[in-house]
A and B are shown apart, each in its own frame.
Chain A
């Protein structure tokens, strides 16, 4: 039987098992991305065999939460089976955050993406309505992370406070891999997302050895990066195929299945 490694080596679509990209973005950023179109993302997904991609808008790094979420909604409606939405938020006003979360959940968004480039800690009170909703509905919350004492403290606090929210630590292991693993070992609602460009040798194997293949999810960070190299990170890991398949899609499927959609409207 052909392994997923062999299929990737030959550039063949990986169609025999589900693949869900848990870390995507749409929209323009400061540096040149040669093709910003949603269609180019869908085309790459088709070439690889990716079923769904969870996206936030690149405006998640700014105060323009409504504009970003509106533009993402257009893409979700254009490709309803393919693009799943993370709500992006600006924590300036907790009431506004609450209204934005309620609106976007009613529109079919299925998770939340937060970035701390805005200068706010993830424990900022402005985000509290989003975490309450995530906890009630078992939503995934994807955090941009890059190690650091404050970051680990914040995620630990949130994991304690909102045990039903699924907390995805983006770029896990890019630095301080042991601390990421220790935190995920402490909290069953923490998952490690392994998207990054600078990748320490053997990182995927290390993460799986530390927390098990059921707690690692795959993401690409497209449009910042192409999905095409990021998929290779998992395909090339020294892991059995069943673990690679769980990381690439099985775990995400379980997270999706756990979302309480009935209470969203």
Chain B
């Protein structure tokens, strides 16, 4: 039985210090076709040099509109504490209007705090809309994710970039907060990791991700899932079904 794939941890168009080339949306789509990845939730990535979140979103939408069947935009959202971006509700409504069904937080890169008095309005607005929210481990810690998950129980938090050494903290986090989800993409590659997560919290809490192009991890992510010692039905849930369900639950 085929396993369709919807990549939750993917991107294009970002520069890396010291690297001359950037992966274009066209190149990403070509690689997805070669490896039979049906769709991807995409950001501008790598994002280490992407200091203009608003500009990055504009580029993201431009490219995603060229591949509407393949690429689903996952824009950056920023709290309006400095009165320099759109107010939170307007910001989210605008992203949903442009086709986004998930967003990403970058508190470190965009210089804001996860404390309720600084970003509570943004997180509350996200939770009201049930907008799946990417929490990248180079921007937030697992402790940060837990704090947000506890305060906003209706907000689906997708943890990406988990290190293979973090299982001792990751697993109890997933157990404690049912609104947290794990991307199986880079850098989550621990031996028997998918199997243990499925056994403890269930396959419905895992989402197929790659981490491409921050690491050359498209096919490794595929084989990590496809050779996992879990049922085909669970692979299908992780491969695509779970993310589709979360996206369908967004309140527009």
A interface, CB within 8 angstroms of B: 5, 8-11, 31-35, 40-41, 43-44, 47-48, 197-204, 222-233, 235-236
B222-A232 in contact (CB<8A): yes
B249 / chain A contacts, CB cutoff of 8 Å:
none
A43 / chain B contacts, CB cutoff of 8 Å:
229
Residue B223, interface by CB 8 Å: yes
A34-B191 in contact (CB<8A): yes
Beyond known contacts A34-B167, A35-B191, A226-B190: 16 more, CB 8 A cutoff: A5-B34, A5-B219, A8-B223, A9-B35, A10-B226, A11-B225, A31-B166, A31-B190, A33-B190, A34-B191, A35-B195, A44-B227, A225-B189, A226-B192, A226-B193, A236-B222
Distance of B218 from chain A, by nearest CB (Å)? 6
B190-A34 in contact (CB<8A): yes
Measured CB to CB, the nearest residue on chain B to A12 is: B226
B215 contact from A10, A11, A48, A199, Cβ within 8 A:
A199
A9-B36 in contact (CB<8A): yes
A197 contact from B164, B191, B228, Cβ within 8 A:
B164
- With A31-B165, A198-B187, A203-B216 in contact, do A232 and B224 touch (Cβ < 8 Å)? yes
Chain B: number of interface residues, binned into ranges: 35 or more
Instruction: Identify 30 residue pairs between A and B in the complex whose beta-carbon atoms are under 8 Å apart, listed by A's number.
Output: A5-B219, A9-B35, A9-B222, A10-B226, A11-B226, A11-B235, A31-B165, A31-B166, A32-B168, A197-B187, A198-B186, A198-B215, A199-B217, A200-B215, A200-B216, A201-B19, A201-B23, A201-B213, A202-B216, A223-B191, A225-B191, A226-B190, A226-B191, A226-B192, A228-B223, A229-B217, A231-B220, A232-B224, A233-B219, A236-B218
CA distance A34 to B35 in the complex (A): 29
A222-B219 in contact (CB<8A): no
Q: Interface of chain B, helix or strand or loop or mixed?
A: loop
Between A and B, how many residue pairs show CB distances below 8 Å?
Answer: 127
Residue B221, interface by CB 8 Å: yes
B187-A236 in contact (CB<8A): no
Measured CB to CB, the nearest residue on chain B to A41 is: B191
Measured CB to CB, the nearest residue on chain B to A30 is: B165
Binary contact track B92-120/A, C-beta < 8 Å → 1, others 0: 00000000000000000000000000000
B226 / chain A contacts, CB cutoff of 8 Å:
8-11, 228
A228 contact from B23, B228, B235, Cβ within 8 A:
B228
Binary contact track B198-234/A, C-beta < 8 Å → 1, others 0: 0000000000000001011111111111111100000
- With A33-B192, A34-B167, A197-B186 in contact, do A228 and B216 touch (Cβ < 8 Å)? no
Residue B154, interface by CB 8 Å: no
Measured CB to CB, the nearest residue on chain A to B170 is: A32
Measured CB to CB, the nearest residue on chain A to B27 is: A201
A197 / chain B contacts, CB cutoff of 8 Å:
164, 186-187, 189, 215
A225 / chain B contacts, CB cutoff of 8 Å:
164, 189-191
- With A9-B35, A9-B222 in contact, do A34 and B196 touch (Cβ < 8 Å)? yes
CA distance A198 to B213 in the complex (A): 11
A11-B189 in contact (CB<8A): no
A11 / chain B contacts, CB cutoff of 8 Å:
3, 223, 225-227, 235
Distance of B36 from chain A, by nearest CB (Å)? 6
